[in-house]
Copies of this chain bind each other. A is one copy, B any other.
């Protein structure tokens, strides 16, 4: 939940009111996905203990896993040195990607 001394003003939202949030599996360290949060989704994450994002395509608040069942339970949350990116460490039971892949990052671009 929200730390007592946390001030939302430390987060630098972009001109759309959004900040990128990286989701990492706390157990194996895998980076699962990147999504966008607005202030309301951060507050919903604080209140519920599960990840909430802002869907840019659907233009709505999005409780990750509410449909698929693959909810992400928040274990830790950190913001970076310049306050414009968030890292969320989660416990998960299923996959992260809507394609059925374990992580959204599954397309190679290196050899």
In the assembled complex, A72 has its CB within 8 A of some CB on chain B: no
A99 to B108, CA, bound (A): 31
Interface residues on chain A, number (Cβ under 8 Å): 40
Contacting residues, chain B, for A1 (C-beta < 8 A): 110-111
Q: CB-defined interface of A3-36 with B at 8 Å, one 1/0 digit per residue?
A: 1101000100000000010101000111101100
Check A74 against B110 for contact (C-beta < 8 Å). yes
Check B104 against A86 for contact (C-beta < 8 Å). no
Contacting residues, chain B, for A31 (C-beta < 8 A): 22, 24, 31, 87
A contacts, CB < 8 Å to B = 1-4, 6, 10, 20, 22, 24, 28-31, 33-34, 74-83, 85-87, 97-99, 101, 104-111
